[in-house]
Structure 1
Amino acid sequence: MTDYRRPLSFGLSLDPTAGSWAQTRQLAQTAERLGLDHLAVQDHPYQPDHLDAWTLISHLSALTERIGFVTDVADLQLRPPVMLAKAAVSLSVLTGGRVRLGVGGGGIPDAIASMGGPARRGPDMVAYAEESVELLRRALNGEVVEHHSPYHSVGGYQAGPMPPRPVELWLGAQKRRMLTVTGRHADGWISPLNIYVTPREVPARQQIIDEAAVSAGRDPRTLRRVYNVIGAIGGPASGPGLVGDTARWVDTLTEWAVDLGFDTFVLWPVAEPERQAALFAHEIVPAVREQVEAIRSAW
């Protein structure tokens, strides 16, 4: 059992497809009215039908007032870290602190290269990502950033402005090297979808993160753990990911919180996103909070 006893939060993934823009805008406003905590936007700019993640988030932030936004996840190969930090803190200032920065090393090298980025793979990608995360951290903290290496040359940038609250830096990771970077440097781990990193695979990954955090002198309990959950609430008993009635969803997310250590769940509905978001917010979220609190209180 791995429960880090962090407060729970819940979010919804938005479709960045240009042709679905009207529905995406409506869904973002619905999610805010429903009381969800986060709106997540994937970052695959090489997809010709995808809107740019930062442009989409910036626009949606002007149409909402409370809900937070997270890049799930921004591609570090296409977004230089100091400039990415500037974008994040700028949007945080403009939204009153509603930005969380999810980043990833860049998992599709050939697609990245199609936009002019470097097609880094394996240890080279990890080394670049770790150095990028270190520079991001310094820039998000408002430090003077000077760094010269084969990967980056930053000549003394005075970072700023300072946001109203620290911009949390979450790292999307799946394999050992990137999970180790997460434990050493990030404020949280964003797991890939539950169909890519299945629940049975999670404990070993949490252990890698925890060991890296401890080796770096950090408390593993301070790291957020985010699970992207694709599936369907109700309806047919087949489909990708978590599929079932509300009772199954409540019991499963409760188990994933207290046994696997996740504190944040982002819903990726496979169909009927408005209806699924409403079911998630009204029937799943409060019941999971109640069950997790009851289990924690009994320990």
Structure 2
Amino acid sequence: MADYGHEPQFGIFVTPDAAQADAVLALARLADAVGLDLVTFQDHPYQAKFLDTWTLLSVVAAQTTHVRVAPNVLNLPLRPPAVLARAVASLDRLSGGRVDLGLGAGAFWDGVAAMGGPRRTPGEAVDALSEAIEILRALWDTSQRSVRQVGEHYAIVGAHPGPAPAHDVEIWVGAYKPRMLRLTGTQADGWLPSMGYIELEDIPEANARIDDAAAAAGRPPSAIRRMLNLLAGGLEPERLAELNLRDGISTFILAASSDDDVRRFAEETAPAVRELVLAGESRPLAGAGAGAARPVVVESTPLAADPTPPPARRLSAEQAWDEATRPTARGADAGETGARRYTPDQQAAGRHLIDVHDHLRAELDRLREIIEQVARGETDATTARQHITRMTIRQNNWTLGTFCETYCRVVTQHHTLEDRSVFPHLRRSDPALQPVLDRLEAEHVTIADLLERVDQALVSLVAPGGDGIANVNATVDLLTDALLSHFSYEERELIEPLARHGFY
């Protein structure tokens, strides 16, 4: 049993096919829209049919708002570490801290040599990777005046460090053999193997090698995130949960080639795995002993998910609706409600709702930032309109109902229940919620209209004789007031009922 303390994360691994460049970018934008954590690309600079990975990562970072980007993994022999350090830090700052770095020691040496790179033995490749990681970290450390790192493969003499990344960039290593696994334990922040190169039954032994190396270097094994690249199609959620609970694998990255791959992984697989991990449930892998699964200990506690409060002040003099007319279904006996206790599985529903809203709040912040750029003349209205088109609140209708219908499909898959959406379920389970649900649905319609008003204001901005930027700002302010108020109201009214009744 391995528990390294990392929350489950999910991402995609997309082939950087130059002939399908638009499709590659569309998959990355979709991953961002449906709430995945990572978008990654392989790096083979000698492959003439592939887009350059670092250029691609930069464009993806510019076209997304919350998803992190990373090479999976970067071909170090063709990426000088001192220059790479500047590139990583620059993109991390430009993307708001959304870059991580997967590194490989090198492979396909004929291709590397054809591009002017070194041809290294396996031992030399490991040594060069170790030197490169030291150089990367030294150049990101702006507390020192200069960097001097003279090794067998790289020599940095007097280079000034900086810029520093916006966040602590994680370095993940693709490793399989003993020396690389030891390097991972002593120097890396993550271990990133791929199915097809490692058998699942070999993961515990590899973990042990990493753990021993980390301990010998004075590092806790939990300092190294355990990850896995999944083949197209992936694995069943129960299998992924087992890998998390038994082997500590917390980040799963799917080789995805279609919209369906991305949506299914984000909307079905990821929530199912999170649910199973939270509950501590999994079925044993083939050949695993009866004690392989983590025992389930269910402890009830008071409701921990707190609704997000509404903003203290409004931005717009106009109001989307009269908040005083909002119904409430919170129990008259607040003391009784506060005294109720819920299992972690029951409380997960409210946390999921808040997580979704937090993502949508981040999208709203990004929209406001783009509008400010339009006002300053740093971008144009067309770019702003494109951002609105890609926003989750537009693509997914941003409603709780849409999110919960997806979550319900996952839950019913595990409990073999009939698929149904959350609002009808809550209406049946708690008649007192009827007025609240009616009001929430009515507000959904109003906010959809406000999104259209923002779009129309941007169109008018570029039309001859059209309204100016002040009209755009006023419309976005109204949208902001409405969305933040609505999210707060929805959380306030539904977190506790969702804990009692669930999504299904």
Q: Shared fold by TM > 0.5?
A: yes
- Answering whether residue 179 of structure 2 is matched by residue 194 of structure 1, we say no
Work out whether residues 137 and 169 of structure 1, in 8 Å CA contact, stay in contact via their aligned partners in 2: no
Cα-Cα RMSD: 1.4
CA–CA separation in structure 2 for the residues paired with 1:297 and 1:59: 45
Equivalents in 1 of 2:33, 2:20: separation in Å? Answer: 20
Deviation at 1:43, TM superposition (A): 0.4
Which has the larger share of strand? Answer: 1
Match of 1:223 in 2: 224
User: Does the CA-based 8 Å contact 2:45-2:78 persist in structure 1?
Assistant: no
Cα displacement (A) at 1:96: 0.4
Distance 1:12 1:264 in 2: 11
Do the aligned residues in 2 keep the contact of 1:76 with 1:104 (CA within 8 Å)?
yes
**Displacement of 1:298 after TM fit?**
3.2
Using the alignment, how far apart are the partners of 1:54 and 1:112 within structure 2? 17
Q: Rg larger in 1 or in 2?
A: 2
- Structure 1 CA distance for aligned equivalents of residues 268 and 106 of structure 2: 35
Task: Give how far 1:196 is off.
Answer: 1.3
Shift of 1:26: 0.8
Match of 2:95 in 1: 95
Q: Which protein has the bigger helix share?
A: 2
Query: Does the residue aligned with 1:221 lie in a helix, a strand or coil?
Result: helix
Please give the secondary structure, in 1, of the residue aligned with 2:269: helix
- Cα distance 1:297–1:63, how it changes in 2: closer, same or farther (>3 A)? farther
Q: Structure 2 matches for 1:104-253, cutoff 5 A?
A: 104-142=104-142, 143=144, 144-191=146-193, 193-232=194-233, 242=234, 249-253=236-240
**Would you say 1:278 and 2:263 are equivalent positions?**
yes
Provide the C-alpha distance between the structure 2 equivalents of 1:164 and 1:298, rounded to a whole number of angstroms: 39
**Residues 126 and 257 of structure 1, relative CA distance in 2, 3 Å threshold:** same
Displacement of 1:150 in angstroms is: 2.9
Which one has more relative contact order, counting CA pairs under 8 Å at least 6 apart? 1
Q: How far apart in 2 are the matches of 1:99 and 1:174?
A: 24
Give the partner amino acid of 1:179. L
What whole-Å deviation, never above 9, does each CA across 1:129-156 have from its counterpart, x for those lacking one? 1111111121233343212233112111
List alignment gaps of at least 5 residues for structure 2: 281-293, 298-504
What CA deviation, in whole Å up to 9, does each residue of 1:143-198 have, x standing for no partner? 4321223311211111111222111111111111111111000111111x212111
In structure 2, what residue type is equivalent to 1:198?
E
Q: In percent, how many aligned pairs have the same letter?
A: 39
> Which amino acid in the other structure matches residue 230 of structure 1?
L
Report the secondary structure of 2:192's partner residue: strand
Aligned length: 282
| 2:32 paired residue number | 32
> How far is the alpha carbon of 1:126 from its aligned partner?
1.1
Following the alignment from structure 2 to structure 1, what is the Cα–Cα distance between the partners of residues 154 and 140? 17
Task: Name stretches of at least 5 consecutive residues in structure 1 with no aligned partner.
Answer: 233-241, 244-248
Q: Give the letter aligned to residue 104 of structure 1.
A: G
1:239 aligned partner: none
In 1, Cα distance between equivalents of 2:188 and 2:176: 14
1:1-16 equivalences in 2 (<5 Å)? 1-16=1-16
Aligned-residue offset at 1:297: 8.8
Q: Distance in 2 between matches of 1:122 and 1:60?
A: 33
Are residue 264 (structure 1) and residue 251 (structure 2) matched? yes
Partner amino acid, structure 2, of 1:274: D
Task: List, as ranges, runs of 4+ consecutive aligned residues in structure 1 with deviation greater than 4 Å.
Answer: none
**Partner residue of 1:254 out of 235, 241, 256:** 241
Distance 1:132 1:164 in 2: 20
* Matches for 1:69-88 after TM superposition, within 5 Å: 69-88=69-88
Given residue 259 of structure 1, which amino acid in structure 2 is its aligned partner? R
Question: Which TM-score applies when normalising by structure 2?
Answer: 0.55
SS state of the match for residue 66, structure 2? coil
